[in-house]
Amino acid sequence: MSLLPRYKVPIMTESQSGKYLTFNDYVLAFDALVGASVLDRDLTAPPGGESEGDCYLVAASATGAWAGQDGKLAQYVNGSWRFYPTPSGFVYWVVDEAIEVRVP
């Protein structure tokens, strides 16, 4: 599968079957990554009571549904979590702290 170089999300390739599935993944990733705003950056596990589209930066030593996803962007979609790498230099608005955070 081919990935975009900076965002590391899948892109469609020639003669790929199920193109709509890859395209849907692509659109969901950009919903999370472009103009990124996260609710919190200090949690190691989902807080509970998530709403569709909620995003968090996963803190180190993550557990539960976020185990192994340290440092990634977690997005709640269709009742489950999706995880995306956080590109170096990317800026996020952290809602609970009302600050911008740049990824090293």
pLDDT for position 53? 84
Domain ranges of the chain: 2-102
* DSSP letter, residue 60: S
pLDDT in tens, the chain (104 residues): 666 666 566 666 666 666 555 667 766 776 676 768 899 999 999 999 999 889 999 999 999 999 999 999 999 988 999 998 888 888 889 999 999 999 88
- 32, 82 Cβ separation under 8 angstroms: yes
Nearest-angstrom CA–CA distance, 30 and 68: 22
pLDDT tens for 17-38 read 665 556 677 667 766 767 688 9
- CA angle at residue 80 from 10 to 7, to 5 degrees? 25
User: What tokens were used for 70?
Assistant: 């340290």
Strands 2-3 and 10-11 turn out to be antiparallel
